[in-house]
Amino acid sequence: MFLGLFSSKSRNLFVRGLHFAKQSTRPSAEDIIFSAVCVNIRQKKWKFLDQLSSSLTNSLLSRVFLEFQSSPQLLLEVYRRIGGQKAILDSLESCCIVVHAMVDQRNYDEAVCLMKELMMSKGYLSLEVLEALINSLSVCSPSNAVFDALIRACTQTGATEGAYGVIKKLRMENYWVSIHAWNNFLNHLLKIGEVRRFWMVYREMISYEYYENVNTFNLLIYAFCEECKLSEAISVFYRMLKRGIVPNVIGFNMLINGACSADDLDLAVKLLEKMGAMSGGIVSPNAVTYNCLINGYCKKGKLEIAKRILAKMIEMDVKPNIRTYATLIDGYLRNGYLEEAFRLCNNMVESGLIPNAVIYNSFVHWLYVEGDIGGVALLLSDMMLKYITPDRFTHSIIAKGLCRNGHVNEAIKFHSWLVEKNLMEDAFLHNILINYLCRINNTSGAKQLLCSMFVRGLIPDQVTYGTMINGYCKAGEMETAAKVYTDMVKVGKNPNLVIFNSLLDGLCKEESIDCSRFLVDGMKRINMYDAVTYNTLLDGYCRAGMIKEAFELFTSMRKAGFLDLAPDFITYTTLVTSLSNKGSSEEVVKLHDYLVLQGVIPDSQTYEAIVSPIIKDLAHEFE
């Protein structure tokens, strides 16, 4: 039986990796163990393997895996049984034999899963796995699909550079990178919000003379939608048609969702209606299509229309799914219709669907917003009773809910509990806690929390740094804020507009007008500024009593109105407050009239507190 192992297919591996060169005609000790192991595996007598597994050598393992290459289920079972043993850890190439076997069986999910384990639990680098895959190619049937699977394993574990490294290396070694692999990587870039890099990689791919397939085109549509470039997205669609590529419902859904998020619901509806015509009768709307529209209308508060779409959906024989209900329920909740939301949830249950964590999360969130702590407690215990596992959203919602209802300490305790139970936590949750700690002037607590993130291997994101910076700015600790800013830049995180605005606000509050101006000039140079920037600086001028400068800035905002910098009700409040403190009622009234003519509407609070009394005063004077 050993002779079979010397087929041309296997020889390569033996020559390279195994100590088979003893040239002995008598079977070695390893041979004897090998055949015993194989017999026991065939008979599924695991006890023998279990006893032996800690002493299996690399070469023996490779031989065993090769032996069972053509019985992938058995192979997988063997691998799983000895997976925790050190031998497996040392023997990346034998693991790759299993991966190849899975790919040969078209069991890609298992292959991806195995490689994720190699990288996540066993700590191999993507390029090490790649090398081992290439080395074992000669003993396994060559299939490029293993590379696709490796790239998928990388993107699924968030190893962006790992995935890109594999693509680069494959190209260098003259292996073919499939369009699927490129698409997978491009899709990953979009998922993590790297739209700029998406376009770079796309251009790179095109420069190697690849042809886009329908999935690539869909990704282009998605990317343009992310950038709110709807007309470009639609033109991609037509470019695809011209190439003779048959569109699918996914591309349409991306367009429709894009239109919804760009607030163009009319276009979204038009696309839904024209789907058939635009695709030559091939594509018709599915549940996702309707869900996108329902979501669009729910977010706009147009619940009646959302409900009509649900009815239409049923009429067209498209079955509403859990997401349909989740979207509608959230829509009702965010518009204050708690009763309706509960009723809808009941309908859903009656139709045979079981509420999931998303639905519970919506309820919990909005009940917290209403301050209904008792209701939340009931819902959470109901969730536990039904064995619905809370996810990281649930945790964040609870933390934020506790904080917003004034129980910051409870939220911190809740967080400690999560840590203790080793439950999911993420930067998001920390951002909430850091924010609320800062709000109650506990910047040192916030800092501790930030440090604890590093200890537990959680990477603070832009928002974490932004929240810390804002906290220090609000506390008037501008130097510390600046230090956090430098730390952030040091770890390669780019500051964003929110962070600049926070810093600016801090400078304005301490009336460092020169610094503020300097910062704003810098922001303008890199084209990172918005209405908040102007309003903040305006507030700074007013605080410093620089009314002339304030008005000049106000005028320039009017001029720049086309750039989304038109004065808004915050501008209004800032100026009006400042002017009324300085006692010049007539200016206030003039400004008020002007802004109202410009379509700026004061919020009622401002109006009641400031404008209304002044107008009354003036009215008295004229009596």
Partner DNA sequence: GTAGGGTTAG
Site map (CB under 7 A) of DNA, residues 373-402, x = contact: ------------------xxxxxxx--x--
Q: Count CB-CB contacts under 10 A for residue 573.
A: 20
Binding of DNA by 235 (CB under 7 A): no
Burial of 221: CB neighbours in 10 Å, binned 0-12, 13-18, 19+: buried
Q: Count CB-CB contacts under 10 A for residue 333.
A: 24
How many residues line the site for DNA (CB under 7 A)?
A: 68
Binding residues for DNA restricted to 198-217, rule: CB under 7 A: 215
Binding of DNA by 539 (CB under 7 A): yes
Would you say 225 and 193 are in contact if contact means Cβ atoms under 8 Å apart? no
In whole angstroms, the minimum distance from the beta carbon of 149 to DNA comes to 13
For DNA, give the closer residue by CB, 603 or 617. Answer: 603
Binding of DNA by 310 (CB under 7 A): no
Please report where in the chains the tokens 């040969």 appear, as a residue: 104
Please report where in the chains the tokens 């279990």 appear, as a residue: 50
Task: Please pick, from the candidates 340, 530, 549, 587, the single residue that binds DNA as defined by CB under 7 A.
Answer: 530
In whole angstroms, the minimum distance from the beta carbon of 261 to DNA comes to 8
For DNA, give the closer residue by CB, 140 or 186. Answer: 186
Please report where in the chains the tokens 């065939």 appear, as a residue: 42
Binding residues for DNA restricted to 444-503, rule: CB under 7 A: 461-463, 466-467, 470, 474, 496-498, 501-502
Task: State the number of CA atoms in the 13 A half-sphere of 66 facing the CB.
Answer: 30
Binding of DNA by 435 (CB under 7 A): yes
Binding of DNA by 516 (CB under 7 A): no
Binding residues for DNA restricted to 240-279, rule: CB under 7 A: 249-250, 253-254, 257
Rg of the Cα trace of the chain?
31
**594 token code pair:** 């002007």
Q: Count CB-CB contacts under 10 A for residue 519.
A: 22
Task: Please pick, from the candidates 330, 412, 575, 611, the single residue that binds DNA as defined by CB under 7 A.
Answer: 330
DSSP conformation class of 584: -
For DNA, give the closer residue by CB, 139 or 570. Answer: 570
Binding of DNA by 443 (CB under 7 A): no
Burial of 513: CB neighbours in 10 Å, binned 0-12, 13-18, 19+: middle
Give ∠ CA 431-435-436 in degrees, rounded to 5: 125
> Which range touches DNA (CB under 7 A), out of 76-84, 376-384, 414-422, 431-439?
431-439
Query: Which residues have CB under 8 Å from 269's CB, separation 6+?
Result: 293
Kindly state the helix (H) or strand (E) to which residue 465 belongs, with its residue range: helix 462-474
For the chain, percent helix, then strand, then coil, each to nearest 5?
75, 0, 25
**373 token code pair:** 């702590």
Binding residues for DNA restricted to 557-596, rule: CB under 7 A: 568, 570
Binding of DNA by 291 (CB under 7 A): yes
Task: Please pick, from the candidates 91, 442, 536, 578, the single residue that binds DNA as defined by CB under 7 A.
Answer: 536
Binding of DNA by 365 (CB under 7 A): yes
Give the Cα separation of 585 and 454 in Å (integer).
Answer: 54
For DNA, give the closer residue by CB, 60 or 250. Answer: 250
Binding of DNA by 324 (CB under 7 A): yes
For DNA, give the closer residue by CB, 89 or 113. Answer: 113
Helical segments of 279-321, H only: 287-299, 303-315
Binding positions for DNA, rule: CB under 7 A: 183, 187, 191, 215, 218, 222, 249-250, 253-254, 257, 286-289, 291-292, 295, 299, 321-324, 326-327, 330, 356-359, 361-362, 365, 391-397, 400, 426, 428-429, 431-432, 435, 461-463, 466-467, 470, 474, 496-498, 501-502, 505, 530-532, 535-536, 539, 568, 570
